[in-house]
Amino acid sequence: MKMARFDAWWRWARQWRQARLVDTIDRVAVLENVHDGGALGPRYAFMIVMACGIAMLGLLQNSVAVIIGAMLISPLMGPIVQLGMGLATFELRGIRDSLRTLLAGVALALAIAILIVWMSPLQASTSEILARTEPTFFDLLVAVFSGLAGAYATVTRKGETIVGVAIATALMPPLAVVGYGIALGNWTIAGGAAFLFMTNLLAIALSVTIVARLYGFGGSDSPKQTAWQAGLIVASFVLLSVPLGLALKRIALQSQTELLVRSALEESAARASGRVSALRVESGADGVAVEAVVLMPDHVPGMEATLQTQLAARLGRPVSVRVQEVLTADDASFGRQQGALAELRRSVSALQDAESVRSNQQRARAEERAALQASLLAYLGRLQRSADGSRWELWVAAETRMPLARAFRIEAELEAARADGAPVLRVFPPLQALPAIALETTEADGPGPGEAALRSLAIQAWALQRWRAGTVDARLASDDDAQAEAWTAALREALSARGITLGRVERSSEGAPGLQLALPAP
């Protein structure tokens, strides 16, 4: 009884299909229209270039309106529909022509996209670009439904529906993103976009095949085929189904992973009276990466580590978790936070006051020290830069009555302590009469001056150089010719070392033996 009822229903369904579907269409006109839409020619190439150029510019500018414009003029639907119809009618030539047209369009679109990215100053990954690198289960459903709608519009010759299908499937933007990824060497972006493009392409082609078979298209609508050609077409159909099946499996696995991750996050957040605000899950060969934003009333320590352990156990794969907690507040917690903030402000204010007092004390001590140094420097003399700016000069005041030996030692000690790169200081002693130098000699020194006398000569020559003396006269009291010659030679050498010329030397035998230097009379 049940079998007879099923046979009756089946006969009714076949009759309804024949009367309402198969007999209502012009099969020849449909096949001619499909063939014309999938033909490779100048118009097809021109529209590919225009559509890809517009899509790439819209993606780089993150402009949805421009991207939609590229979808509307893209001619890729034509060869894809021809491919699906060729599979339905077992037409090997149609399949071959559609694949050739598709490959030419893909190659031309990739070349244009790569060229635009290379020439463009804007190369950042916008949200529109990133949105086409991770296909989801919903993208697959959109492609299937769009393929069914496109096949229906093609078979029934309702061309206005193709516009909505072109927008829904968005074939050209993912292809442009593939070119973007290739141009920048970012294979993650290129691979994800290529996966989305192939998913849409195969879903549309197979949907067209299914609808075409439903409307009665088959082997009778194509030239007679040989057995091996029919087998080749069937094999092509199976091969095209494999990537779509793999895509479905991958998308289903991704959806299941996201569902498990969201469930675990929501459970963990609910225990602390929080909720998940945003979630991103990326699955790769090395594991799963999870990024989430959770709204929480209070901070939960160790939340990331706990979730990472739980998710790894549930998924059986390595998992890295990054949770950003956004603290929310009710009236009670807000009051506590306000009290803590007020206490923190008081602490900061106290620290600032203490720092201000310490800074004022340091500034006062520094000003006092600077004033004291200025008063002492005024007593000591005048400190100034040299005319050429290469050194500092200390002009010792006459009131200090500083001996020449003391001024000479100050300059020598400062020079010895000067660091590399530090400014040079020159000491200028006050003008004063040069003291006489006793002609003391020893048997060890011979008739010439000893060590103490040579030091006195060097100091007086230094003072004369500081006073900018060019020539110096000398009075030598000695009745020993050898001694006088030795002292004169030592004096000339000491003065020459300072760039000073020895002028007239007056020799006398009266008084105690000694040497007296004096500036020449004007």
pLDDT at position 25, please? 66
Same domain? For 104 and 219 the reply is yes
Say how far apart CA 156 and CA 205 lie, in whole Å.
Answer: 17
Say how far apart CA 56 and CA 177 lie, in whole Å.
Answer: 7
Mean pLDDT on 100-121: 89
DSSP-based three-state secondary structure for 225:
coil
CATH number for 59: 1.20.1080
Mean pLDDT on 356-375: 75
Residue at 334 is within a domain: no
Same domain? For 275 and 419 the reply is no
Residues 6+ apart with CB under 8 A from 90: 218, 219, 222, 225, 229, 230, 233
Residue at 348 is within a domain: no
Same domain? For 213 and 278 the reply is no
Structure tokens at 499: 């760039």
Highest mean pLDDT among 64-73, 395-404, 464-473: 464-473
Mean pLDDT on 370-395: 73
Last residue of a domain, one of 296, 328, 360: 328
pLDDT at position 232, please? 52
Residue at 404 is within a domain: yes
Same domain? For 110 and 184 the reply is yes
Beta pairing class for 381-385 and 424-428: unpaired
Give the model confidence (pLDDT) of 438-466 as tens digits. 877 666 667 778 888 888 888 888 888 88
Residue at 237 is within a domain: no
CATH number for 298: 3.30.70.1350
Give the model confidence (pLDDT) of 142-152 as tens digits. 777 777 777 77
Residues 6+ apart with CB under 8 A from 450: 440, 441, 442
Of the chain, the percentage scoring pLDDT greater than 90 comes to 1
Residues 6+ apart with CB under 8 A from 234: none
Cβ atoms of residues 212 and 88 within 8 Å: yes
Cβ atoms of residues 263 and 294 within 8 Å: no
Highest mean pLDDT among 68-77, 271-280, 321-330, 453-462: 453-462
Residues 6+ apart with CB under 8 A from 13: none
Domain that holds residue 404: 386-428
Same domain? For 421 and 456 the reply is no
Q: How far is CA 296 from CA 262, 266, 269, 273, 339, in A?
A: 16, 11, 7, 7, 20
pLDDT at position 490, please? 85
Same domain? For 411 and 468 the reply is no
* Of residues 42, 67, 64, the one with CA closest to residue 53: 67
Say how far apart CA 70 and CA 171 lie, in whole Å.
Answer: 10
Same domain? For 423 and 441 the reply is no
Name the DSSP class of 139.
H
Q: Which residues pair with 472 in a beta bridge?
A: 502
Same domain? For 267 and 393 the reply is no
Number of independent structural domains in the chain: 4
Half-sphere exposure (CA, 13 Å, Cβ side) for 522?
Answer: 0
Same domain? For 40 and 104 the reply is yes
Give the model confidence (pLDDT) of 247-262 as tens digits. 666 666 777 777 777 7
Last residue of a domain, one of 311, 328, 345: 328
Residue at 380 is within a domain: no
pLDDT at position 235, please? 60
* Of residues 375, 374, 261, the one with CA closest to residue 310: 261
Residue spans of alpha helices (H) in 185-226: 187-214
Q: Give the other-Cβ count within 10 Å of 360's Cβ.
A: 10
Give the model confidence (pLDDT) of 14-34 as tens digits. 656 655 565 556 667 777 777
Last residue of a domain, one of 309, 328, 347: 328
Same domain? For 46 and 129 the reply is yes
Cβ atoms of residues 508 and 475 within 8 Å: yes
**Rounded to an integer, what is the distance from CA 168 to the centroid of its chain?**
35
Same domain? For 29 and 122 the reply is yes
Same domain? For 26 and 171 the reply is yes
